[in-house]
Amino acid sequence: MGVAKYIKDEKGAIKEVTYQSGITVKPAYGPEDLEQAGFEYKKDLGAPGEFPFTRSLHPESYRSRAWTTRQYTGFGTPEETNKRFKLMIANGQTGLNVAFDLPTQMGYDSDHPLAQGEVGRVGMAIDSLKDFEAAFAGIPLDRIGSGLTINAVATIMMAMYQAAAEKFGFKKEQISTTPQNDILKEMIGRGAWIFPVEHGVRLVGDSIEYAVKELPKSNPVSICGYHIRESGATPAQEIAYGFSIAKAYIDNVKDRGIDPSDFVGRFSFNFNVYGNLWEQIAKFRAARKLWAKMLKEDYGVTDKKKLWLRGLFGGGGSGLTKEQPENNIMRGAYYALGAALSGAQTTALCSFDEAYTIPTPRSALLSLRTLEMLMEEVGLRDTVDPLAGSYFIETLTLQMEEKIVEEMKEVEKWGGMVKSISNGFIQRKVSRQAYEYEKGLQSGEYRKVGVIPESERQESAKSGGTEKSDVELHEYNEEWAKHSISSLKEVRRTRNDKEVKDSLKALEKAAKGKDNIMPRLVRCCHAYATVGEMTGVFRDVFGEWTEPDFY
């Protein structure tokens, strides 16, 4: 996925190049292109670290500090996760990134029928505060921050994190939690949603409002263009839909009378890096500029630091192939090069075997070395935004900016992101694009090195075919489920039933009205109400979402 469309003549010369985002590329660029595009240094570029930040958020960028890399953890039982956490901290990691199992992500307790076969499989199983206490025992939560990969029940996990910290004697003002908390992208591309769109956004708004007032060190939202791109969106749409989603959240909180300057500085993003190298670089530069402009012009934010497009540019899973998997090592290197040339602050790379298995230690190390090499060996730290001033890159950045704005205007025309997702406009567009792209790959219209298109496969089958590795799966351990369920039974047995009932009732009242549900959730967590019980209250009050047509 992500390959540009090339039209070649009989001799193999390229006659036409069209990027996924819809931009056509000329054979050569010169100063006249910059002129034609209306390029103006001050308006469109500026110095590194100066508005509109096209070149970089910081004046020195990698010269002062190399990019940070992330490693996810969390699987099985909270106790095992706790051991892993302590190991990573001992190895110098300064932040934790927590994954949760599917039942937790979907608001079900480990003994729910739908949880069968899933407890602890893709992440940690959390049923109540007791599990969080086990997971974060002995961790200095005033010094170590935690990213929580959780969305539909992010409010519950945030509340539980606070409750656990308080149990350990920390104050909520000291702790730092970064839940992913981007429900709108779930509805487009990841599928871990529960409630209808408007209610999902209300919960995000509640968590942001609460963070502003009570959790000053926490970052309440990480908007993921990443998954939207994985579902079929073009690079321009990835940014456009990401920003439109950000607007939906900002507007929700702004309507409560809170100044966007008080919270936008703590938004972060998660963007994808696969595809055409130049398209990605132009995308990120244009994104930095547009974000700063949008916050300044639409929301009156003036503080420089709050205009920054902070985030993780990485991943690239959709670009990898099952065929000839070692090619993915090189692909990863090129994607990472694009991220480095784009000045990514934080990055992560899918490992070469990720298309078909859980990364082995060896492949994880290769990814790490790939990232290290760029920073420490081949010169990506030497100077800020080295491609600035290039006729091609600056023209392309302006064109990408135009495309992104165009896509955002279309969302506005449909009534904004909430309406666009409720009605299915985005999902339909993205599904159709994914389908058309896949057809193009299978017909040979788009080419990936090492992959033989379906239409040509008959011949290659005779000559041996392409080598395809077999898939390896996340292991599933029955013991995790047994452990979680017995722990859950114990919690239900020993807690104060009256306090659970009262706290859930208070939660229900807040959910039905306009009061912020966060303090009520904290109370429920302290009472050892379970994830299933708290989500159950929301299910009763909000109902469950049903998807609109995608076709």
Partner 1 sequence: MMKTTNKIRVLIAKPGLDGHDKGAKIVALALRDAGMEVIYSGLHQTLDQIIETAIQETVDVIGLSIMSGAHLPICEKLVAMMKENGLDDVRLSVGGVIPYQDIPKLEKMGVAAIFPGGSSFKEIVAGMNQLFD
Partner 2 sequence: MPNADDIRSGNKLAGARLIQLIEKSDPNGFKLLKELYPDSGNAFIIGITGSPGVGKSTLIDGLIEAFRKMDFKVAVICVDPTSPFSGGAILGDRIRMQRHVTDKGVFIRSMASRGHKGGLSRTTKDCSVVLDAMGYDIIIIESVGAGQAEFDIIKIAHSIGVVSIPGAGDGIQAVKAGILETANIFIVNKSDRPDADATVESLKMMLNMRFSSQTEWLPRIYKTNALDKTGITIVAKAFLSHLKFMRQNDEWTRKRNELERLYFQSLLEDLVMEKVLEFMAVSKEVEAAIKRIGSHETDPISAAEQIADKILGF
Q: Figure out which of the listed residues 423, 433, 466, 477 binds partner 2, where binding follows CB under 8 A.
A: 423
Query: CB under 5 to 8 A by kind: which of partner 2, partner 1, none does 409 bind?
Result: none
Does 482 help bind partner 1 (rule: CB under 8 A)? no
Give the amino acid at 318.
S
**How many chain residues touch partner 1 (CB under 8 A)?**
44
Q: Figure out which of the listed residues 205, 225, 232, 532 binds partner 1, where binding follows CB under 8 A.
A: 232
Q: How many helices (H) and strands (E) does the chain have?
A: 20, 10
Instruction: Looking at 1-59, list the stretches that DSSP marks H as alpha helix, in order from N- to C-terminal side.
Output: 31-37
Q: Which residues of 497-523 are buried (b: 16+ CB within 10 A; e: fewer)?
A: eeebeebbebbbebbeeeebbbbbbbb
- Min separation Cβ 450 and partner 1, Å: 13
Query: What are phi and psi for residue 268, nearest 5 degrees?
Result: -135, 165
**How many chain residues touch partner 2 (CB under 8 A)?**
10
Does 174 help bind partner 2 (rule: CB under 8 A)? no
Q: Figure out which of the listed residues 196, 416, 450, 453 binds partner 2, where binding follows CB under 8 A.
A: 196
Residue closer to partner 1, measured from CB, 85 or 545? 545
Q: Which residues contact 132 (CB under 8 A, 6 or more apart)?
A: 78, 126, 160, 161, 163, 164
DSSP classification of residue 3:
P
CA-closest candidate to residue 437, choices 237, 291, 290, 267: 237
* 482-488 contacts, C-beta under 8 A, 24 or more apart: 483/77, 484/77, 484/110, 484/111, 484/119, 484/120, 484/125, 484/127, 484/131, 485/110, 485/111, 485/119, 487/127, 487/130, 487/131, 488/109, 488/110, 488/111, 488/127, 488/128, 488/530
Residue closer to partner 1, measured from CB, 28 or 473? 473
Residue closer to partner 1, measured from CB, 198 or 547? 547
Q: Figure out which of the listed residues 55, 172, 190, 202 binds partner 1, where binding follows CB under 8 A.
A: 190
**In the range 197-226, which residues lie near partner 2 by CB under 8 A?**
198
Does 474 help bind partner 1 (rule: CB under 8 A)? yes
Burial of 137 (0-12, 13-18, 19+ CB in 10 A): middle
Site string for partner 1, 334-373 (x = CB under 8 A): ----------------------x-----------------
Q: Figure out which of the listed residues 327, 424, 476, 515 binds partner 1, where binding follows CB under 8 A.
A: 476
Query: CB under 5 to 8 A by kind: which of partner 2, partner 1, none does 423 bind?
Result: partner 2
Does 473 help bind partner 1 (rule: CB under 8 A)? yes
- Min separation Cβ 472 and partner 1, Å: 7
Q: Residue 135 has which token pair?
A: 């997971």
Does 551 help bind partner 2 (rule: CB under 8 A)? yes
**In the range 432-461, which residues lie near partner 1 by CB under 8 A?**
432, 434-435, 438-439, 442, 454, 457
Burial of 397 (0-12, 13-18, 19+ CB in 10 A): buried
Does 300 help bind partner 1 (rule: CB under 8 A)? no
Residue closer to partner 1, measured from CB, 73 or 469? 469
Residue closer to partner 1, measured from CB, 237 or 399? 237
Q: Residue 206 has which token pair?
A: 């509640």
**The one segment of 166-174, 190-198, 302-310, 339-347 that binds partner 1 by CB under 8 A:** 190-198
Name the residue with tokens 């379906």: 454
1/441 Cα distance (integer angstroms): 8
**The one segment of 38-46, 100-108, 340-348, 486-494 that binds partner 1 by CB under 8 A:** 100-108
Query: CB under 5 to 8 A by kind: which of partner 1, partner 2, none does 127 bind?
Result: none
Q: State yes or no: cis peptide before 453, omega within 30 of 0.
A: no
Instruction: Looking at 187-326, list the stretches that DSSP marks H as alpha helix, in order from N- to C-terminal side.
Output: 197-214, 225-230, 235-254, 277-299
41/251 Cα distance (integer angstroms): 32
Residues that bind partner 2 (CB under 8 A): 196, 198, 422-423, 544, 546-547, 549-551
Residue ranges that bind partner 1, judged by CB under 8 A: 102-103, 105-106, 108, 113-115, 117-118, 121-122, 186, 189-193, 230-232, 322-323, 356, 431-432, 434-435, 438-439, 442, 454, 457, 468, 470-474, 476, 546-547, 550-551
